[in-house]
Structure 1
């Protein structure tokens, strides 16, 4: 493309030479660089028409970076994010005063010359010679526009930006050639429009619309004469003439622009004098960019949306390409965030845990069956100040969360129960469940067997918790030794495999440890992961991957492809219904009674780790699942004994007494006005029990198809011969302490 010809068969270089002469071309470069006149001789000797022709003729004009607006599911604005604050407008939507002012001060002969202004060059050469140095350049608006295109293409790459703005002869020659091309292809009006949209006006404002909003809080079409003159004067040096930081210097520069407008007959001298007498009249709107400005405490939800964009191949082949697309902006992103749910989350957090508390809390809400994340909040706000953080306490490490997540304690036990039921274990299975015991061994794993060579032990929370227990009572009381016996019988592998199927993967991205203490919640997970895993129970065994983005509209209103939730069956309906029945018992008569919802069918599980460094409640209704974590936000955590949280003193923190009420209040508000469906339940009756089991309270539930009038719905299923066979806060276990004070490597 270097020898593209137009206009009488002349190449671009020949057109330049015809217009300027080769020596004049050299002079153009010299003047544009504001170099002493002697520089022209060296360039004239070395610069040739052929060398000029070797520069590619096509100027790559990248889409201008703009604001991206992030919306909630109802269309309300969450935040605006941008690499460069810019709103593109048409020339007709820019005040005539602004168009006149920028031409008058930057390139008064704009409509009379081509890409290069020969008279302007000669004037600059003469002026610089008189001053014995550099005092004046001669770049036209077209040349300035081309330079700004180079800068825009460089993006945030400092090295490329330096190359795009370096004061070198080579860059000026390239700038000149592209300026000629732009003049031929766009015409004056389009060049002026592009120039006013791309130019930097200081205070993070790119383009005249953003500048008008920043300094005067009004659209560019409404700029008055003196306001337009002020903005036009900024272009030469946005920092030097910044009216916020340097009002006197800015006024002097504004008045210079007004006088120049009078000299070129855009306005009368009387108009100029009247405008000079007016104050700057600033009405500054401070920049509000990024997730730190998000409403309703949704800063971390907003940040998660950005992480989704950076990590999902839907938005580009490489992370670099996706980041560049994000920085380019110009998108409207409608998310899954439910404003009612989000407000409820934040109200609950603020009423139970203070920002200044030693511990923090994080809450995530997920819709079963769709994977839509409806709410996400935490007590430590998004920010850089005291008791603020940029770590998303609800997220995995790869998505901006903590390095390890948080040990989940007994909230992992239902996953073990589900895996056992899937393998044929009856839900009334009874174990001796002593207060304290050694871990049984050997235990089968995905990688062979685990043997308790060290005599590791596990204990229940209270000495009064002594079996035998069936699964329902053991779940309600969260009996550690029961679940250790259960996982030891079925093996570790079925548990970790099911955990992966329901998305319960470690926050650090590593594989699960193949040890029986896994059932006590020794590994670190994020609240979002736990909420979505329990949503699988609510959805009767079908797992749906979490989603944050509903739709994206790009520049020009074009709809962009977005990642969708993928749903697949992780367990049978009967297994899920059985877990729902078991976990109803937790909130009705078990450790989670303080979290039970009054007018809705609900289920859930408490969890507390050793030394009470983390406390959880994870629960759900058929149409909403939520997880609440409370603990120390740092790597070491906080021992939650003799501690005040949200103004309430606790001698010991339990999953029920702190996370439970947070969950209850958040869920109550989020579900207000929504249907209250019931669970499909199954009878869990042990025909060999010494006493009749409790009947499930009907509530809003309906009997499942397995209800057969008292007959055993769980026929005998033989277990494979190779399979041998917590209250929270148990005794010492393999690889950790019971339900998990030790963070495994």
Structure 2
């Protein structure tokens, strides 16, 4: 037996038949168009009950798109992101004034008729006939809701939007069919609730809650009479009745709504008159949409989170599926970003690099043992104007970064050392390390064809005074190029590639590390996130953890919330504990007495490596403590600016080195990020040095500073090698503590402790 409705006691089919038989012109009215009689008769002939029942039976009502909120690790809001600014609320959270106002002005007989208001059709037909044009429609609130659903489904596809809103009788009939079904399935209260949540109120506000916040900075539940009337009046034409841009028109429309509410008995005439005298009372909140509005300088991190969501299969099998979930919104994403660390990153960058500088800087901090990204920032703000950029210099191209990353210089050398140690080479390994040499050839690769130096390519050290033989510890502290090329030719390229694979070191475009000896000198482009994550494995004694940015996600669907699965960090052993501990000992020497002294932390143990590339287009410092790892890159994003005779952050530099500009940025960022955090120690190893002038045990030795001036370094408890490295450097050879000197030259300070950039 057909189901009956209270609206006239007719079944949906009977309502459809009666509607289609009322008048050919009525159909034209409902379509919002004028049709010639002949054409209308043709449509009427097709508009039988039988053909109507052939229309699709199921109305798709997708979850309404809502805003997504991105939070930091402490729950503080970083940004809101949405394709449509909407917050879905239940009818109980919408002012009764608002409910009455929208019904009064849009469909005053809403509770008396079914999906189709036949009296309304006839009224509109009569008025349009009198005026000679289509001046009034007869869509019920239910029909408007159905139309909005079609528009919502269309999303931002202009073709689909046009199809959902085209003024044709065929579309109108299809809309009516679904309106009838909705009336039968949902009922009046749910239809009203859905309508108030889906409809557009102008100023990028979808749904009544977003509209209440936009125009009055309050919730929909707290809207008073005149505020409700204003919002209800906007719906008919959001641009025409926009109170922000045309207060006069908006006031007239509001008063029209108030008068209509009085006419239908929702309020008294006296209440309407009193409300009409009130000012609009706007308290506008500007739209706050997108990562560009993120606080704490976290715009780039915010975009990284979005790209992770759109690329990770855990959020959907296809990119289209993931994008649909993202655009649907309603997500609350708690991230790994630590507000203390992020603020420290931003402050450090601002203190050392200006956004108007010819070069840029980027810093990323990660937590060893968990892979959590706790800080990410850069000197060029996110945006589209001058001295702004959309590129995230901290990440790979797939996540919004540079196409190939940035050449890392000598910061790649620890990977070569780790590979050699894993191959069984001792920490005392020495090589002749001449000032200049040809790349050794052939060098074994992972396949059967070795690398050969067919063009006789050469390399050299930073200065002519850098002449071996050197052992590993001193070569790392001085960053001796020829030493590490000899090392990579000794052990072969495959062990190095194996280590970098385990550390997930990939080029910025996603390609694997090429098998060529030049990788020892950092010739390939990597991202700061890649470097910080790889060095974190040294800090965690050989355990590499994939970087993660998302802690948890919940999604609001209707009035309920559900938890979504999120990608987890996967940790695996990249090298033995002994190898990691040895590298930590080597890199602590770089910070204590080598090229990275300007990055050394005063209150906790740290280790790291400097890097400067050919023509000084890139300078790096990558370092870590036992509980935090960070990478700083400074350079030319276009790789066209040479950092010679250049001013960065208001400071002039004849030449830029990794320890000189990136080092202090790293130091300040890490110091602030770690303030109040636990102080932990490395598991250092004893690296013996059999040289006769470096007796193991008393820590005494000779340090040679720029070729002249001997100093006696006393480092109780350390071996003789440590004491020699800490030795004096000849007093006042370079009197200025900020003088720019090449990597490998000592910087004397007159107190027996040598510094090296």
TM-score, length-scaled by structure 2: 0.89
Q: Match of 1:234?
A: 234
Name which of 32, 35, 50 aligns with 2:33.
35
1:679–1:701 contact (8 Å) kept in structure 2: no
Q: Aligned-pair distance for 1:182?
A: 1.1
Q: Match of 1:592?
A: 596
Relative to structure 1, the CA distance from residue 680 to residue 369 in structure 2 (aligned partners, 3 Å threshold; closer, same or farther) is same
Q: Match of 2:477?
A: 476
Name which of 661, 664, 672 aligns with 1:669.
672
Q: Aligned-pair distance for 1:42?
A: 2.9
Q: Match of 2:751?
A: none
Q: Match of 1:493?
A: 494
Q: Match of 2:616?
A: 612
Q: After superposition, what is the alpha-carbon deviation per residue over 1:152-180, rounded to whole angstroms, capped at 9, x for unaligned? A: 11222222111111112222111111111
Q: State the alpha-carbon separation in 1 of the partners of residues 191 and 743 from structure 2.
A: 70
Q: Match of 1:574?
A: 578
1:16–1:25 contact (8 Å) kept in structure 2: no
Q: State the alpha-carbon separation in 2 of the partners of residues 695 and 28 from structure 1.
A: 105
Aligned: 1:6 with 2:13: no
Q: Match of 1:153?
A: 153
Q: Match of 2:539?
A: 538
Q: Aligned-pair distance for 1:27?
A: 5.6
Contiguous gaps of at least 5 residues in structure 1: 705-726, 731-745
TM-score, length-scaled by structure 1: 0.91
Q: After superposition, what is the alpha-carbon deviation per residue over 1:256-311, rounded to whole angstroms, capped at 9, x for unaligned? A: 11221122122222222222222222111000011111111011111111011000
Q: Aligned-pair distance for 1:24?
A: 2.7
Larger mean CA deviation between 448-457 and 264-273 belongs to 264-273
Q: State the alpha-carbon separation in 1 of the partners of residues 363 and 717 from structure 2.
A: 30
Q: Secondary structure of 2:671's partner? A: helix
Name which of 656, 660, 679 aligns with 1:657.
660
Q: State the alpha-carbon separation in 1 of the partners of residues 743 and 617 from structure 2.
A: 12
Relative to structure 1, the CA distance from residue 12 to residue 386 in structure 2 (aligned partners, 3 Å threshold; closer, same or farther) is farther
Relative to structure 1, the CA distance from residue 610 to residue 113 in structure 2 (aligned partners, 3 Å threshold; closer, same or farther) is same
Name which of 603, 625, 629 aligns with 2:629.
625
Q: State the alpha-carbon separation in 2 of the partners of residues 563 and 700 from structure 1.
A: 46
Q: State the alpha-carbon separation in 1 of the partners of residues 716 and 410 from structure 2.
A: 25
Q: Match of 1:737?
A: none
Q: Secondary structure of 1:145's partner? A: helix
Q: Aligned-pair distance for 1:21?
A: 5.1
Larger mean CA deviation between 135-144 and 240-249 belongs to 240-249
Q: Match of 2:738?
A: none
Relative to structure 1, the CA distance from residue 401 to residue 700 in structure 2 (aligned partners, 3 Å threshold; closer, same or farther) is farther
Q: Secondary structure of 2:462's partner? A: coil
2:65–2:86 contact (8 Å) kept in structure 1: yes
Q: State the alpha-carbon separation in 1 of the partners of residues 207 and 642 from structure 2.
A: 53
1:13–1:53 contact (8 Å) kept in structure 2: no
Q: Match of 1:516?
A: 517
User: 1:659-738 to 2 correspondence within 5 Å?
Assistant: 659-687=662-690, 691-692=694-695
Larger mean CA deviation between 307-316 and 225-234 belongs to 225-234
Q: After superposition, what is the alpha-carbon deviation per residue over 1:466-518, rounded to whole angstroms, capped at 9, x for unaligned? A: 10000000000000000010111111121122112101110111232221011
User: 1:543-554 to 2 correspondence within 5 Å?
Assistant: 543-554=544-555
Q: Match of 1:733?
A: none
User: 1:188-227 to 2 correspondence within 5 Å?
Assistant: 188-227=188-227
Q: Secondary structure of 2:147's partner? A: helix
1:679–1:702 contact (8 Å) kept in structure 2: no
2:4–2:11 contact (8 Å) kept in structure 1: no
1:608–1:614 contact (8 Å) kept in structure 2: yes
Contiguous gaps of at least 5 residues in structure 2: 701-713, 720-741, 746-757
User: 1:106-125 to 2 correspondence within 5 Å?
Assistant: 106-125=106-125
2:508–2:526 contact (8 Å) kept in structure 1: yes
Q: After superposition, what is the alpha-carbon deviation per residue over 1:95-152, rounded to whole angstroms, capped at 9, x for unaligned? A: 1211111111111111110000001101111112222222111100000001111111
Q: Aligned-pair distance for 1:637?
A: 3.5
Q: State the alpha-carbon separation in 2 of the partners of residues 12 and 457 from structure 1.
A: 89
Q: Aligned-pair distance for 1:35?
A: 2.2
Q: Secondary structure of 1:273's partner? A: helix
User: 1:331-370 to 2 correspondence within 5 Å?
Assistant: 331-370=331-370
Q: State the alpha-carbon separation in 2 of the partners of residues 243 and 272 from structure 1.
A: 19
Relative to structure 1, the CA distance from residue 12 to residue 356 in structure 2 (aligned partners, 3 Å threshold; closer, same or farther) is farther
Q: Aligned-pair distance for 1:536?
A: 0.6
Q: State the alpha-carbon separation in 1 of the partners of residues 585 and 110 from structure 2.
A: 78
Q: State the alpha-carbon separation in 1 of the partners of residues 716 and 168 from structure 2.
A: 78
Q: After superposition, what is the alpha-carbon deviation per residue over 1:45-103, rounded to whole angstroms, capped at 9, x for unaligned? A: 12221221112222111111111111111111111111111111111211121111111
Q: State the alpha-carbon separation in 2 of the partners of residues 696 and 240 from structure 1.
A: 83
CA RMSD of aligned residues (A): 2.3
Q: Match of 2:133?
A: 133
Q: Aligned-pair distance for 1:560?
A: 1.0
Q: Aligned-pair distance for 1:17?
A: 4.1
Q: State the alpha-carbon separation in 2 of the partners of residues 438 and 390 from structure 1.
A: 41
Q: Match of 2:708?
A: none
Q: Aligned-pair distance for 1:688?
A: 6.5
Q: Secondary structure of 2:645's partner? A: strand
1:345–1:376 contact (8 Å) kept in structure 2: yes
User: 1:362-511 to 2 correspondence within 5 Å?
Assistant: 362-447=362-447, 448-511=449-512
Relative to structure 1, the CA distance from residue 136 to residue 409 in structure 2 (aligned partners, 3 Å threshold; closer, same or farther) is same
Relative to structure 1, the CA distance from residue 17 to residue 150 in structure 2 (aligned partners, 3 Å threshold; closer, same or farther) is closer
Q: Match of 1:710?
A: none
2:485–2:520 contact (8 Å) kept in structure 1: yes
Q: State the alpha-carbon separation in 1 of the partners of residues 377 and 544 from structure 2.
A: 23
Q: Match of 2:98?
A: 98
2:29–2:134 contact (8 Å) kept in structure 1: no
Aligned residues: 702
Q: Match of 2:728?
A: none
Q: State the alpha-carbon separation in 2 of the partners of residues 631 and 695 from structure 1.
A: 43
Q: State the alpha-carbon separation in 2 of the partners of residues 346 and 234 from structure 1.
A: 42
2:690–2:696 contact (8 Å) kept in structure 1: no
Q: Aligned-pair distance for 1:656?
A: 0.6
| More relative contact order, 1 or 2 (CA 8 Å, 6+ apart) | 1
Q: State the alpha-carbon separation in 2 of the partners of residues 254 and 180 from structure 1.
A: 31
Q: State the alpha-carbon separation in 2 of the partners of residues 695 and 485 from structure 1.
A: 32
Q: State the alpha-carbon separation in 1 of the partners of residues 41 and 211 from structure 2.
A: 41
Q: State the alpha-carbon separation in 1 of the partners of residues 348 and 50 from structure 2.
A: 72
Larger mean CA deviation between 155-164 and 672-681 belongs to 155-164
Q: State the alpha-carbon separation in 1 of the partners of residues 567 and 460 from structure 2.
A: 45
Q: Secondary structure of 1:487's partner? A: helix
User: 1:292-303 to 2 correspondence within 5 Å?
Assistant: 292-303=292-303
